[in-house]
Every structure is written in structure tokens, then in C-alpha cells.
Structure 1
Amino acid sequence: MFPKPIQQMSPWVQTSYKIMLPIALLIWLLPLIGIAVTSIRPASDLAAGNYFGMPSSFAGIENYTAVFERSNIGYYILNSFKITIPTVIGAVALASLSGYALAVYRFKGNLLIFFMFVAGNFVPFQILAIPVRDLTQQMGLYNTTTGLVMFHVAFQTGFCTLFMRNFIKGLPYALIESARVEGVSEWKIFLHVVMPLMRPALAALSVLVFTFIWNDYFWATVMAQSADVRPVTAGMNELKGQWKAAWELIAAASILAALPPVTMFFLMQRHFIAGLTLGATKG
């Protein structure tokens, strides 16, 4: 059913794998490499049509300095943190509670509620743009950080609940039963028995949600119009002029905007991988 490990394949397959893997990796990284090279390329290169060749000179310091001078990218990055961090906390906290309830308790409608969380993940979010915009306007939450946070929490909780419910379902149920026999309350069971076992899942889910929200562009343009609320993904439009786009500055701003989620992934890499692979070899 599953493919054999590459070490058990024929020598020809192993050789082909070793050749094709670096090529595939290079193709996958090519856009990122192009953006990184463009961010240190002088504007004269782009004006002369030197898009893919070696830069004629190193202009990284000038480009990255100009990004902060010609735009409010520092303020937009701060806005992204104001939106992303509360969303991660809210979505993961709600998903932990709902996932625990759906995984541990047996009640009428349990499976139906779980299916509703799953079905919500398959709704194309683009078709909700107008209803969400009108609803937030009526509630006074349009073009506010609070509105963006509440919206993202509501939309991310479905996926997070699916993730947490399946993770908790794989934990030893005997631990919960033993705690109940000892007379421990349900709230303390959740906090002191289940939560410590959920740390890998919490770390993995936090990294995923942080990346989803930080990289969001669609809702950042639909629900944020003023510079006071606009996150960095939408704020980079400031660097695009009416007649000419400073692509070297846009590339530099893109690299700066990508640093926080990449940094978080490397800081949480060990927990992230453990959360995704825990239980993969059971059974």
C-alpha cells in the first residue's frame, strides 16, 4: 500500500532520486531566490532589463533602508502582530476546548457538530466577502483590528477544532478515567492531564495558524482600508506607484514580511514536527 523506502529501491532508482531531488528543490526555491536577488539589485538593473542576471552592484542596504523611508512598513508589521497573535491565542484556545469536548464526551449530536466543523473548512471563503463586509459594517467592526481578529478566530476555529479533536482522540483515555476515579474535576483533568500531552499539537497548530493569518492578503484588503489597521501584506501596496513599481523595494519588503513566520517555524521546529508526526506509527 505504501511506497518502499528509497534505500530498498534499485540502484537506478536511488541514483535518479539523488539527481532529481536537488533539481526539484531548486525549482521550488527559484521564486524565493529571485525575490531575494531582486531585493539587493539596484534600480538601474531593472530599468536596463537585467531581471535574471547577476546584479551589477550590491544595493541591499539602500533598498532595505528605502523600504522604511518610503513606506510605513514598520507600522504595518506591528499591525500584523496585533492581528495575528490574538487570533492564534483565541483560535487555539477555543479549539482546545471544543476539540476536548468532541473527543472525550459522548452526547447526542456529537458527530453532527464535528461534521459541521469539518464542512466549514470546505466553504470557499471568497463567496463570503460581501456578507462578512456588510455584517462587520453593521456591527461597527469594519476596518478595525478587533473585527479582523474576531473574523479570523471564527474562521480558523473550525480547522483547529478538527486538528485538536483528532489529536485528543488518540490520547490514552485511561488517563482521563483514572483521574475521574480519583475525584478530579473535569476542568482540572483538562488543565493538568490533557493539556500537558497536547503541547506538541498546540505548537504545531500555533505555527500553522500564525502562518495562515500573517500571510493573509484577501481579507486584509477586504476588511482593512485605513493605514491604522492594514497589515503588512496589504501595506506593501504603498511601494507601488501610479506609473512605476519599485520592484526592488517590493522584493525587499516581501523578504522583511516573510521573516516573522519563518523565524517562528525554526524556533518551534522540533515541537512542530513532533505534533504532526505523533501517532503516525500507532497501530
Structure 2
Amino acid sequence: MYPRPIPETAKGARFTYGAFVWVILLLWLAPLFAIFLTSARTAEDIAAGNLWGIPTEIGLVDNYIGVFQLTPMTSYYWNSILMTVPSVILVLALSTLAGFVLSKYRFPGNMLLFGIFIGGNFLPAQIMMIPVRNLMVNLGVYDTVWALVIFHVAFQTGFATLFMRNFIAALPRELFEAARAEGCSPMQILVHVVFPLVRPALAALAILTFTFIWNDYFWAVVLTISDSVKPVTAGLASLRGQYYSAWNLLSAATVIVAIPPVVLFFFMQRHFVSGLTMGAVKG
């Protein structure tokens, strides 16, 4: 099932594998390097066609300051924060509650309900575009941050419930039996037994959910029109002009948009890794 490790004696195979990894890594990093390099160029340098060479003049500071002075990036950033933070908190709360009930309580329709939770993850986003838009219009929240919050909470909770249910189901049954014997209510069991044990899983899920929601572009375009409510992903697209695009500012804005998920991952990296591997090894 898993690939066998390459023996130390197979020098040629180990060299080929290492070279292949470096080639793939360079191909993956090349666009990122190009974006960062473009964010350090001046508009004149780009107009001259110097896209991959050493910048003739460094405009790094001016470009990154100009993103906030010459574009509505501050508003886009604030909209993304207003959309992402409440969505992540609600998804974590709802998925933990649902995962706890679906994993530790047996009732008629348990698996059917669980299937409904995860069924939406298999639907292409495009077929839900018109119904979701019409629903937001009927609710009176179309072209507001709340439209994005409602959708992302509803859509991400399915995957998050699957994630949390599997972690909670792996917890020792004896812990729950001992808590019930002590007279704990289901809510007390959830707070005092489940929460402390699934913190790594919650951290991993928080990073994944934050990244999914922060980087979403499709629904940001479908559910918002006004620049005053657009998140950063839709805002980046609006920075392109009809006849002229300031690629140095656009590249600098792209780097700025990518910072929060990267910082969050490195800040919570230990919890993320332990959360993904939690329960993978028994004994």
C-alpha cells in the first residue's frame, strides 16, 4: 500500500529520486518567485519587458505601500477578516457539536444524517451557483459580507463534521462511560472530556478552514458586486484595468494576500501536524 523506501545501496535510484524532487520543487516555486520578483520591480521595468531578469530599479517599498494607498486593499482585507474569522469560529463550533453527537450517540437516521452532512462536498460548486445566489437575494443578504459567512459556514461544516466525527469516534469509550458514571451531562462531557482531547484536531481544522475560506474566489465573485464588500480574492481581480494593469502593484497585493494563511500555518504548525496524525497510530 505504501511505497517501499529506497535502499542505501541503490545510489542511482536515490540520486534520480532526489533530482526529481528538486525539479518538481523548482517548477512549483517558479511562479511564486516570479510574483515576488515582479512585486519588487518598477512599472518602467515591467513595460521594458524585463520580467525574469534582475530589476534595474528596486521599487519594493513603494509597491507595497502603494497597494494600500492607491488601491482599496485595506477595505478588501477588512472584508476578508469579517468574513473568515466568524465563519471559522462557527464552523468549528457546529462541526464539534455535530461530530460529538454523530460519533457517540446512536439514533434512527444517524448514518443518513451523517451522509447528508458530507454529501454537499461531492457537488460541483457551479451547479449551486444560481440557487445559492437566489437564496441570498431572498434572505436580503446578497452583496453583503453576511452572504459569504452564511454560505461558507453551511458549506464547510459538512467537511468539518466528517473531520471531527472521526477524531471524536477514536477517543476511548471508557472515558465517556466514566464521565457518565460521575453524573456528567452531555454538555459537561463535551466541555471537560472532548474539547481538551481534540484541541490538535481543532487547530488543524481551523487552519484548513481558514485557508479554504480566505482563498475562495468563486463565491466571492458570485455573492458580491460592490467594492465595499468584496474580499481580497475578488478585490485582486478588480485591480486589473481594462487597458492597463499595474502588475507590480498587483503582484505586491498578491503577496500581501498570501501572508495570513502562511503566518497562521507556521504559528500553529505543531498543532496542525499532530492534529492530522492524531489517532493514526495505535498502541
Give the TM-score normalised by structure 1: 0.96
Q: CA deviation at 1:187?
A: 0.7
Paired residues of 1:95 and 1:157 also in contact (CA < 8 A): yes
CA RMSD after TM alignment: 1.4
Distance 1:129 1:8 in 2: 53
Distance 1:206 1:6 in 2: 36
Aligned to 2:260: 260
Instruction: Report Cα offsets for 1:114-142 as digits up to 9, x if no partner.
Output: 11222211011111111111111111010
Counterparts of 1:182 and 1:268, CA distance in 2:
34
State yes or no: 1:144 paired with 2:152: no
Q: Is the 1:70–1:239 Cα contact (8 Å) retained in structure 2?
A: no
Following superposition, the deviation at residue 7 of structure 1 comes to: 5.4
Are 2:20 and 1:20 equivalent residues in the alignment? yes
> In the alignment, what sits opposite 2:271?
271
Within 2, Cα distance between the matches of 1:241 and 1:16? 45
Q: CA offsets per residue over residues 203-237 of structure 1, 9 Å max, x none?
A: 00000000001001111111111122111111123
Q: What residue number does 1:48 align with?
A: 48
Q: Structure 1, residues 135-173: CA drift from partner, whole Å, max 9, x if none?
A: 111110101112211111001000000100111111111
Partner of 1:207: 207
1:158 is matched with 158
- Extract unaligned runs of 5+ from structure 1: none
Looking at structure 2, the residues matched to 11 and 171 of structure 1 have their Cα atoms a distance apart, in angstroms, of 44
Amino acid at match of 1:184: C
1:183–1:224: structure 2 CA closer, same or farther, 3 Å change rule?
A: same
Which runs of at least 4 in structure 1 moved beyond 3 Å after TM superposition?
6-9
**Alpha-carbon separation, structure 2, partners of 1:153 and 1:196:** 23
**Alignment check: 8 A CA contact 1:99 1:161 kept:** yes
1:182 aligns with 2:176: no
- SS of the residue 2:122 aligns to: coil
Is structure 2 residue 95 aligned with structure 1 residue 95?
A: yes
Counterpart secondary structure, 1:52: coil
Deviation digits for residues 44-89 of structure 1, max 9, x if unmatched? 1221112222211211011112211211101210110000000000
Question: Match of 2:36, SS?
Answer: helix
Residue aligning to 1:229: 229
Other-structure match for 1:63:
63
TM-score by length of 2: 0.96
Matched residue, 2:124? 124
Higher mean alpha-carbon deviation, 5-14 vs 53-62, is at 5-14
Aligned identity (percent) is 52
SS at match of 1:242: coil
Distance in 1 of aligned mates of 2:270 and 2:216: 25
153-162 or 17-26: which moved more?
Answer: 17-26
**1:35 and 2:47 are equivalent in the alignment:** no
Output the CA distance in 1 between the equivalents of 2:219 and 2:138.
17
Counterparts of 1:140 and 1:159, CA distance in 2: 27
Cα offsets for 1:12-33 (capped at 9, x unmatched)? 2222222222222111111111
AA aligned opposite 1:267 = F
Give the Cα separation in 2 of the matches to 1:126 and 1:167.
Answer: 31
Letter in 1 for 2:77: I
Structure 2: distance between partners of 1:113 and 1:4? 40
Give the deviation of 1:8 after TM superposition. 5.8
Q: Which amino acid aligns with 1:231?
A: P
Q: Which has the larger displacement, 201-210 or 111-120?
A: 111-120
